[in-house]
Structure formats: structure tokens, C-alpha cells
Amino acid sequence: MAKYLIGDIHGCADEFAQLLEKINFNPAEDELYLAGDLVGRGPKPKEVLDLAIKHNAKAVLGNYDLHFLACLYGAREAKESDNFDSLLNLNPEEKQYYASWLQEQGFVREDEGFYLVHASLDPTWLPEQITDIAQQAKEFFKSWGAEEFKRFFGGKQFYINLRELGFASHEEIFLRRFFESLLVFTICRFRQFKTLEEESILLYPSAQQVLDTIGKDKLQKLAPSLLIEDYSKAYFDLNIGLKGKPEAVREQGLYPWFEFARAKAERTKDNVRQVYKNPNFNFLGFKKPVYFGHWSLCNGFPLPPGFIGTDTSCVFGDRLTAYKLPEFSVNMQDQAFLLTLAQPIAEVKSTIKFN
């Protein structure tokens, strides 16, 4: 038995089928993993989902998959460029069939030898936290119907929920933590060091204003964030607007999410008082290689060993890529072996003409 991973497909069903043939995939013996963004932009989203279901694929959800579901449930209007018509024009029973399958997939896949996520993971999370946070997010999200999509996705990007939610109830705290996990799993490319006074995604408008309103002791007790342990200290915020090349901007405290070790080392040199004994910067790293999609501009950039970007821009005219996943526990100190994991086993050139 072999385990294969294919990067962001984005509705490119012809290339998906060719790649499965090229790796001689056998669903009776092999396992197929998909890095999210199965649909969106490409011409054949329905055919992609049919192939995924036929081959018993284990997918993680990406931001385009979430956008599609929001459109399907009537929370958003699809754009012509989304290319969702072949799915949205189905009868209600057929639409629910595909929606249910997608919502069952979850946001993180974990095996003995790897993690798979669409966008990112947080370096402060312990292995058991990654498992628990991903499972809670999956169980909650798969229960959603039209009411939840319209409430949380209707007419807005879902990070806005963090601005709108308060700190007064258990439901609000649960939802805050859920939307943080969704941003990490499906959107985040960059992280950024923030002081208490700076404008924030996690604690809007700033951590200091939230502290002044709620109070430090109450905020520590509520623990509304999955990404902040001490609310009175600087922290590693999300930067969800930046989509460029995976290059750090040291003077701005801005780093690709997988460059956390470099980020901490440089921040320690630049401002040791901010980092010293600050649990918000207790970057543990990961016990397994992390495969992710979402960020096609990682192609051609040397990533830290153990981080494998799989989005090779098929929908923009480049290629669709398959990787063979490790089937055993990996020595994360063996950098030479970790680098071999980033080598694809097969590729198919895109037939899409992108303008």
C-alpha cells in the first residue's frame, strides 16, 4: 500500500485524472490525500469531487472549499470566475450530497508520518492540541447548515467574526477559538509579532484595548485565544492580508508561518526583553513533517526541512503535482531525508490557458 498526496486541484479534473493514472493509483490498495481547494476557478469542479469520492480520497478543506459551501448554502453570491455553476445548478439532493461529503473532510489529516493542512499550523501547539483543535473544528463545522453559513459567512470574510464576537459567554469564547483555528488551517500565510498597542486580528482593535475593557485576570481565566497564552505580553498575530512571496520582513516582525524558528531567533536578537520568558513565543515546532497547499508562491523557494508546499498552480497554467507520503514515523533531525519528501513523484502539465 502507498499513500499519495495531490496539491490544490481547483477544479482541474482532467489533470487530476491524468495524475491518478500516472501514479497508477489503486483505491483498493492505496490511500489518496488532497491538500484542499478542490474546487474554485477551474472548469470542472463537479468532476473533481466525483473523482475524489470515487477514489476514497481523504481531503482537508481549503478557503475555496469554504467559499463554495457558503455559496451553496445561500450565504454568498458566487462570482463568474469561481466556476461553481456545475455544482450550484444541481437539484437540492445532489447539492447536499456534495456539501455533506466536503463537510465531513475536516481541516487537518494526521498520520504516523505526517500532518496535512491546507494553509498552516501553529508552532506553539502540542501534538495532542493539534489533534483536539482539529477534531473540535471538524465536528462543529460538519453540523453547519444554511443558518450557520448565513450567520458567519454571509456578506463578510469570516475573520470579521473575531471583531464582532465578545467575551461574555461560553458560546462566544468557543466561537472565537473556532474561527482562530479556521484562519490558521485555511487562510494564514504570514505571522507577525505584535505589541499590545498595535492593531490586531486576534484581539481587535488591539490587545491593550481588550485588556482595558475585560481586565487581565478575567481575560486569562476566559482564555479566548488558541494562539495567546499570556494576554499581557507581545504575541505572534495572524497576518491574513498578505499573499506575496514567502519572504520575511524582519523590521516589521513579519514571517512566513513555517519560519517560526528563524522568527524567534531574530526577535530575540532585536528585542530580547519581549521574548524572554514570554509563553506566547514558546515555539515547539512539529513532531512530523507538515504538508500544505494554499501558497503557490512557495514554489522555487527553499523551505525549512520538514515543510512541503504542494500547490503548483495548475489552475493558473502551471502543473498538478503528486507526492508520496511517508508511511512511518520520521526522524525530524534527519534534514537530508526531510528534503527528499519535498520531491514530487509525478506531475501533469496544466491544459488551462490563464490570462
C-alpha separations of 156 from 77, 153, 225 in Å: 11, 6, 21
49, containing H or E segment = helix 45-54
Q: How far apart are CA 312 and CA 293, in angstroms?
A: 9
The stretches in the chain having pLDDT less than 70 are 354-355
Q: Grid coordinates in use for 107?
A: 481541516
What Rg, from alpha-carbon coordinates, does the chain have? 20
Is residue 142 a contact partner of residue 104, using CB atoms and an 8 Å limit?
yes
Q: How far apart are CA 194 and CA 25, in angstroms?
A: 46
Cα end-to-end distance, the chain, whole Å: 40
User: Can you give the residue ranges of every domain in the chain?
Assistant: 1-121+290-354
What does the pLDDT read at residue 355?
55
CATH 3.60.21.10 fits 1-121+290-354, yes or no: yes
What does the pLDDT read at residue 156?
86
3, containing H or E segment = strand 3-6
**DSSP codes, 294-315:** S-GGGTTSPPPTTEEE----GG
> Residue 163 CB: number of other CB atoms within 10 A?
12
What does the pLDDT read at residue 300?
85
Q: Grid coordinates in use for 10?
A: 481547483
What does the pLDDT read at residue 354?
59
Q: Grid coordinates in use for 142?
A: 460538519
